[in-house]
Structure 1
Amino acid sequence: MHRRYRRRRTALLLSAAIAAAPLLTACGNDAHPGAAAVVGDQRITVSQLENRVNEVRAAQRAVVSDEAQYAQAVSRTGSLTRDTLHGMVLDRVLHQAAQDAGITVSRKEIQEMRSGLEQQAGGAKALETTWLQEYGVAPARLEENLRLQLEAQKLAAKLGTDTTQPEFWKALSEASEKLDIDLNPRYGSWDVQKSGRVDAKTPWVREVSAPDAPQTA
């Protein structure tokens, strides 16, 4: 597998992806009103999801002042809300799998990883911009993402594999099953075997762009 693809897949595994922020015209999950998802005994509220989406959008706006470039960035990312929720749930799945394996990550390890990446990227600001543009991680979430990257690396190493191999994803699948993930139907459903969100086949659910966001195709 191509090295860049592996790197991108791993980063997307551990973070919310960048995209436009749609409003969905569908009823919520009556079993969990106000929840975008329930992961174990924790709720991810619609408000929390919207805040995370807004963080990415605000960070994008801060680094792209030209309207045409901003519109282009939005057009390349057409499902931020759903992709962000996928990332938020998968982050918790990975953390659960790491805990089950007895894996911990120290503050020092995060700082060392960040320092190394900053050197490669050409500075702290360059690293933040890269993580935002490539992986949809807002600057405020960078160290949180790096912690998850380290958890993934340590989990894969303990399993004697890497993050692209079935053994790694099997561990995430077991964590998914343990957490009994329940997504609000408007965002699809969670596939335990794949440890990923899948869209519900509901053609009557349509996405409407937020009033202050550019329209997407």
Structure 2
Amino acid sequence: MFGKSVKVAVAAVAAAGALAGCGGTPKAGTAALVGDDRITVTELSQDVRDWREQFRADPVANEMRANPGNPAQQLGADSESDVRGALTLLINFRVAREVAEAAGVEITGGRVDRAVESLNRQGGAESITLASGLPRDRARELARLVATQSAVMERFGADFTDRMNPATQRAGQQWNELFRRTADGMEIEVNPRYGTYDPGKFEIDPAEQRLSRPDSGI
């Protein structure tokens, strides 16, 4: 259902990151606010530390994450990028729950189980989670995100047996639009030390060179 390659699965997750940020500076110790839900700097830092340790020991995750043009990719070469990627996914998990509600779909435990099974067939749910930038214990949350995207796109008319079907492509566009609108309504605020959202590129842009200033929120 989710495609025949790990690259497709990871790309689908990345496409879910169409977030629109709001202004404001979260209070000290906060990495991001997603509505009333707070992601702390401690939580984010722990996830990144756990991810680095686990990623080093997982050759499958390394192979998935490696740039084909540079097989000798070095872990931690861009630690700020690692943190931004992890924070983006932590936000996505929260937004996706609201997206499912807005689309009127229920993401049952059975749906998540099937998403885990699909990811396992594509290289392993835990390895894919590591390749995506989070530790293994976030694998089920990642699977829930994948399951949510699948369910919502199906509601919009997607046919996953034919990804080139115009209806499937339209459903993907509708998913991105709904994700963006939902994120807008949730008043997402990111600590400026981590950067800002660029919904056009589906990623967190790096922070400006202001990290040493006292208005970083930390």
Shift of 1:77: 6.8
Instruction: Give the aligned length.
Output: 182
Shift of 1:54: 1.5
Q: Work out whether residues 163 and 169 of structure 1, in 8 Å CA contact, stay in contact via their aligned partners in 2.
A: no
1:103 to 105, 130, 141: 105
Task: State the distance in 1 between where 2:44 and 2:183 align.
Answer: 19
> What residue number does 2:155 align with?
158
Q: Work out whether residues 110 and 143 of structure 1, in 8 Å CA contact, stay in contact via their aligned partners in 2.
A: yes
Task: State the distance in 1 between where 2:58 and 2:154 align.
Answer: 36
Q: Work out whether residues 181 and 190 of structure 1, in 8 Å CA contact, stay in contact via their aligned partners in 2.
A: no
User: Identical aligned pairs, as a percentage?
Assistant: 24
Q: Give TM-score, length-normalised by structure 2.
A: 0.68
Paired residues for 1:36-47 under 5 Å: 36-47=31-42
Task: State the distance in 2 between where 1:97 and 1:36 align.
Answer: 22
What SS class does the counterpart of residue 205 from structure 1 fall into? coil
> What residue number does 2:215 align with?
none
Shift of 1:110: 2.4
1:170 and 2:168 equivalent? no
Task: State the distance in 2 between where 1:154 and 1:184 align.
Answer: 31
Q: Give TM-score, length-normalised by structure 1.
A: 0.68
Q: Work out whether residues 25 and 192 of structure 2, in 8 Å CA contact, stay in contact via their aligned partners in 1.
A: no
Shift of 1:175: 0.5
2:197 to 190, 197, 209: 190
Mark the CA change 1:77 to 1:102 in structure 2 (over 3 Å): closer, same or farther.
same
Gaps of 5+ in 2: 18-23, 60-70, 158-167, 213-218
Task: State the distance in 2 between where 1:70 and 1:78 align.
Answer: 19
Mark the CA change 1:87 to 1:164 in structure 2 (over 3 Å): closer, same or farther.
farther
1:75 and 2:77 equivalent? yes
Mark the CA change 1:13 to 1:51 in structure 2 (over 3 Å): closer, same or farther.
farther
1:180 to 177, 187, 191: 187
Q: Work out whether residues 95 and 179 of structure 2, in 8 Å CA contact, stay in contact via their aligned partners in 1.
A: yes
Shift of 1:197: 2.4
1:48 and 2:46 equivalent? no
Task: State the distance in 2 between where 1:76 and 1:188 align.
Answer: 14
Q: Work out whether residues 176 and 195 of structure 1, in 8 Å CA contact, stay in contact via their aligned partners in 2.
A: no
Shift of 1:153: 0.7
Task: State the distance in 2 between where 1:115 and 1:165 align.
Answer: 22
Q: Map Cα deviations across residues 160-217 of structure 1 (whole Å, 9 max, x no partner).
A: 34598432211011111110111111111234666642334x22438xxxxxxxxxxx
> What residue number does 1:128 align with?
126
Q: Work out whether residues 189 and 198 of structure 1, in 8 Å CA contact, stay in contact via their aligned partners in 2.
A: yes
Mark the CA change 1:193 to 1:139 in structure 2 (over 3 Å): closer, same or farther.
same
> What residue number does 1:58 align with?
53
One-letter code of the match for 1:190? Y
Gaps of 5+ in 1: 16-28, 207-217
Task: State the distance in 2 between where 1:185 and 1:153 align.
Answer: 32
> What residue number does 1:25 align with?
none
Task: State the distance in 2 between where 1:163 and 1:10 align.
Answer: 15
Q: Work out whether residues 115 and 144 of structure 2, in 8 Å CA contact, stay in contact via their aligned partners in 1.
A: no
